[in-house]
Copies of this chain bind each other. A is one copy, B any other.
Amino acid sequence: MSKRILLNAFHMNCVVHQSPGLWTEPGDKMEAYTDLETWVELARLLERGFFDALFLADVVGVYDVFRGNREAAVANAAQIPVNDPAILIPAMAAATKNLGFAWTSSVLQNHPFAFARTVSTLDHLTRGRVAWNIVTSYLESGARNFGRDALPEHDERYAIAEEYLDICYRLWESSWEDGAVVKDRRRGIYADPSRVHSVDVDGKYYQVHGVHLSEPSPQRTPLLYQAGSSPRGRAFAARHAECVFVLGPNPGVVAQYVSDTRDRARAFGRRPDDLKFLAYIKVITGGTETEARRKYDEFLQNISYDASMALLSGWSGIDFGQFEPDQPLEYVETNAVRTLVHGFTAADPSRKWTLRDLARYVGIGGAGPVLVGAPEQIADELQKWIDVGVDGFNLAYAVTPGSFVDFVDGVVPVLQRRGLAQSAYEEGTLREKIYGRGQRRLLDRHPAAHYRRAPRAPISEAPGRAAASAGE
């Protein structure tokens, strides 16, 4: 097989993720986001389509920038209500064998000591199938929920994240040595205390003094996702991320970002292809191009202007409620808006865009590109992204489960025939499925590998002392 495409389904524990207005479509079942069955069925579907992972986004605030309040978001269920994503994973893991589970957790929301244990617990229970998407939050409302007057300024958020990761890495990689857990039932020794070490950090933002409460899980550090786009964010991704989530209107724009971030990775001792890039994309397909176009038109019709603007205003921090929906955008563009809007209108610069057009564009695509067509056409388009250096996709949905059913039954077989999608899973942890068999843990070139302790020979048995076997 030539280089296969990595496939993530992009989702969220809520009614409306990136398709504002479409929860009312007959084919959308996300009103039942509080039922375990909804998620178990989705996970089974994705595994049937040999997806690598289900990626769960999250926010810890509401979209209240549009018109200066949360009304549009609440009325349209635009990422509110939104439940805890990590809690969904265990039941889905019990119903699948190979599918991975990535979820978002902001460094603002949990203390790293508690968070590191939750992650290790999930990695144990899923036998090494989890990934953490590291975020630093963008909603001011999220900061206020956690006792801050405002978000720390952008670069400081990354400084907090660096310290947070430093603590997590220490807990995951260095607290319990390989070989610490001996499980010697005959001698009644579970672990060798001389191989379990305290983590001691007196940082600027966090202090931790103690051993990790979890023994080493299959991956130790979970597979790491990140999506930094600012210069500071790119440096962070170049240093820490294994999978980078990237959003851009077309392969050309994304290719620039990909190659820049791969280059930056060298500065941290990593190789460019240690980083896997997953491009955000939405696919609307059907048996024929006509059928796909019909679906697209129906969806476009039902995009909610308010919900779309609530999301866009929240993402950008610009209140689009100050502009008239039917004014041409060239008229209302301020400098801040110009930069933002340009990314979207570039899709069709010949057109005179109004805010209403933009809302529909943002709504149908979820701020990213949309591919519409028959499965063969979709496969052709996806290949263009791969050709410029992207490794795979974060597949957003218009409706659930419909969009994923269409992709699994229509597009995946085409990709498989072309040798671009897997027809069986690699064994082992999620990291092994991405990087190849044997790569259970972080690559040696990853900066967190420095936290590992040098392997020790098993100590010989001595009466009354813990003994370590070669096992782990």
Q: Which A residues contact B (CB, under 8 angstroms)?
A: 13, 15-16, 21, 23-24, 31, 34-36, 40, 60-62, 69-71, 74-77, 80-84, 86-91, 93-95, 109-111, 113-114, 117-118, 120-122, 124-125, 141, 144-147, 183, 185-186, 188-193, 196, 206-211, 213-215, 217, 302, 304, 466
Residues of B within 8 A of A144 (CB): 208-210
CB distance from A76 to the nearest CB of B (A): 6
Q: A20's closest neighbor in chain B, by CB?
A: B188
Knowing A88-B125, A113-B145 touch, does A83 contact B193 (C-beta < 8 A)? no
- What CA separation (Å) do A62 and B209 show in the bound complex? 11
A40, A90, A113 pick with most chain B CB within 10 angstroms: A90
| Minimum CB–CB distance for A96 against chain B, Å | 11
Instruction: Write the nearest CB–CB distance from A140 to chain B, whole angstroms.
Output: 10
User: Which of B23, B145, B189, B190 contacts A190, CB < 8 Å?
Assistant: B23
| Contact pick for A83, options B120, B141, B211, CB 8 Å | B120
Q: How far is the CA of A77 from the CA of B31 in the complex (A)?
A: 44
A87 — which chain B residues lie within 8 A by C-beta?
86-87, 89-90, 118, 121-122, 125
Q: How far is the CB of A95 from chain B (nearest CB, A)?
A: 8
Q: Which residues of B contact A302 (CB under 8 A)?
A: 188
Rounded to whole Å, the gap between the CB of A272 and the closest CB of chain B is 35
Q: Do B31 and A183 touch across chains, with their CB atoms under 8 A apart?
A: yes
- Docked complex Cα distance between A61 and B36 (Å): 32
Contact A34–B193 (Cβ < 8 Å): no
Contacting residues, chain B, for A217 (C-beta < 8 A): 34
A190 CB contacts on chain B under 8 angstroms:
15-16, 23, 74-77
Contact across chains for B120 and A109 when beta carbons are under 8 A apart: no
Given A110-B110, A111-B110, A121-B83, A75 contacting B211 (CB threshold 8 A): no
Residues of B within 8 A of A24 (CB): 185-186, 188
Contact A110 B121 (CB under 8 A): no
Q: Do B145 and A208 have beta carbons less than 8 Å apart? A: yes
Question: In the complex, A110→B110 CA distance in Å?
Answer: 6
A71 x B34 contact (CB < 8 A): no
A213's partner among B60, B90, B186 (CB-CB below 8 A) is B60
A111: B residues at CB distance < 8 A? 109-111, 146-147
19 other contacts beyond A62-B213, A76-B189, A113-B145, with CB at 8 A cut-off?
Answer: A24-B186, A40-B94, A62-B210, A70-B211, A74-B193, A74-B211, A75-B192, A80-B213, A82-B213, A82-B214, A87-B118, A88-B125, A90-B91, A91-B93, A109-B113, A111-B111, A111-B146, A147-B208, A188-B304
Beta-carbon nearest neighbor of A81 in chain B? B215
Measured CA separation A144–B302 after assembly (Å): 53
- Residue of A23, A82, A214 with highest tally of chain B CB at under 10 A: A214
Complex interface: chain B residues within 8 A of A34 (CB) = 124-125, 217
| Chain B residues within 8 Å of A124, by CB | 34, 83
Whether A214 contacts B81 by the Cβ 8 Å rule is yes
Shortest Cβ distance from residue A306 to the other chain B in the assembled complex, whole angstroms: 9
Instruction: Contacts A93-B91, A121-B13 given; indicate if A80 touches B192 (C-beta within 8 A).
Output: no
Q: CA A183 – CA B185 in complex, angstroms?
A: 56
Contact A121 B210 (CB under 8 A): no
Beta-carbon nearest neighbor of A25 in chain B: B185
The complex places the Cα of A206 from the Cα of B107 at a distance, in Å, of: 18
User: Closest 5 interchain pairs by CB?
Assistant: A77-B190, A147-B207, A34-B124, A84-B121, A83-B121
